[in-house]
Amino acid sequence: MKKITATVMGFGDRGQIYARYAKMRPDLFEIVGVVDPNPVKLEKAKREYNLKTENCYSDPAEFYRKSRQCDAVINATMDRLHYETTPPLLEKGYHVLLEKPVASDPRELLDLERAAKENRRVLMVCHVLRYAPFYRRIKELLAKGAIGRIKHIYACENVAVYHMLSAYVRGKWSAENACGSGMLMAKCCHDLDLLVWLNAGAKPVTVASVGVRGEFTAKNKPAGAGTRCLSDCAAEDSCPYSARKLYIKNDVYPFLIWNDLPGRDWDGVELPLREKLLKTVSPHGECAFADKDLVDSQSTLVTFDNGSTATLDMLGGVSRPGRNMHIVGSTGEIEGFLESNRFAVRRYDADSTGYKEETREITEDVSGAHSGGDLRLVEDFVSMLSDGPRSVSCTDISDSVIGHLLAIAAEKSRKENRMVSFADFFL
């Protein structure tokens, strides 16, 4: 396999994680450039990957003007920038590893699929959960017919209190006009992709979805609540959503909370400045009980053309975070919890009218985010570009379209309070 060279566009949390594969396998993958408007991140990338100054860009336009610099680009820009930044890369001849979600507009989504095909470039979407050993093992069993014909897939994403608050109540994805998508696309396009992938490519037929913002609303403000936790709130000491508890006492998600400070990296923000920012300008210091438009609970039901159904529940602000999955087939079922790294395979026993159960343990390395999926995805991307083998998890933009369109259809159903036909979303 030849070595693949890449530039990282967007050297934030996700971009930095994907780039780490170059440190694991320097014989196969090398980071040779970076594009990011933050000078601190540029300097960090330059230092960590020994980059030449001329290969560090603060503006994508500078990078586009140059002749092709490498084999691929890791596009880890914010969601709403994917449609703007990706076509010039494909036209320039770069293969692209694109952070999800791809886009929240069906026309933009299909435009990007078309651009990849017209330019004959790989456009792989970062559906990292496909690469978690937990889901890959389940996929392999389903492909072997271990539980017969799929009848129903139930999935539930339980979003932790601290994650919900830091990303979807106070953070970058706190409102649809800020991040360019609703909660399902922003948080659960992973899970909708799994419903399609595990169902052997069956096509959705109808989609129905309901959702509410039931917890993080102004009507639930406790007595004495103010506008900011650290400045004018008399209820802060007893509030479970206190910014002091989350970001000062426990330092939750510092790479999200402090990542966009000009001239600084997230781990270089000292405590006095953190307290000052939470008291004054940081959105993470604002009261959590705010009337915004992202839901904190949503359920989606899908019917497929193979006669199966699927349900996805998104529950925001739970005590124990994680992902549940229960797949019922014609001859058995598979049920598990991702974060436990084990699942059960059950088969009906006609002689006893009971069932027999086997427990499968994941013994592979599952360290890192997404239960070990992140760097396995980059490994597959590099292998594909090197004409090496592709794993069962491998995806390109065409594989990602249906899962994304499911999120768009579900949002239409929720907002219009009706069941929608999936065929309407293929323009």
Separation between Cα atoms, residue 16 and residue 13, nearest integer Å: 5
Domain boundaries, the chain: 4-126, 130-215+292-371+394-425, 218-285
For 1-15, what is each residue's pLDDT tens digit?
A: 789 999 999 999 899
Structure tokens at 137: 């093992």
Separation between Cα atoms, residue 58 and residue 33, nearest integer Å: 11
Q: How sure is the predictor about 168, in pLDDT bands with cuts at 50, 70 and 90?
A: very high
Whole-number percent of the chain with pLDDT over 70: 99
For 174-222, what is each residue's pLDDT tens digit?
A: 988 877 789 999 999 999 999 999 998 799 999 999 999 999 999 999 9
Count of CB atoms situated within 10 Å of the CB of 152: 15
Q: How sure is the predictor about 267, in pLDDT bands with cuts at 50, 70 and 90?
A: confident
> Are the C-beta atoms of residues 101 and 79 closer than 8 Å to each other?
yes
Separation between Cα atoms, residue 254 and residue 269, nearest integer Å: 9
For 221-244, what is each residue's pLDDT tens digit?
A: 999 999 999 999 999 999 999 999
pLDDT at residue 109 in the model: 92
pLDDT at residue 99 in the model: 96
Parallel, antiparallel or unpaired: strands 342-349 and 72-75:
unpaired
Amino acid at 231: S
Supply φ then ψ for residue 420, to 5 degrees: -120, 155
Name every residue whose Cβ is closer than 8 Å to that of residue 145 and which is 6 or more positions away in sequence.
none
Q: Which residue's entry shows tokens 């959503």? A: 241
Q: How sure is the predictor about 263, in pLDDT bands with cuts at 50, 70 and 90?
A: low
pTM of the model as a whole = 0.92
Separation between Cα atoms, residue 366 and residue 389, nearest integer Å: 21
pLDDT at residue 308 in the model: 98
| Average pLDDT over every residue of 280-299 | 94
| Average pLDDT over every residue of 398-411 | 92
Separation between Cα atoms, residue 369 and residue 341, nearest integer Å: 13
How is domain 4-126 classified at the CATH fold level? Rossmann fold (3.40.50)
The second-level CATH assignment, the architecture, of 130-215+292-371+394-425 is 2-Layer Sandwich (3.30)
For 316-372, what is each residue's pLDDT tens digit?
A: 999 999 999 999 999 999 999 999 999 999 999 889 989 999 999 999 888 877 888
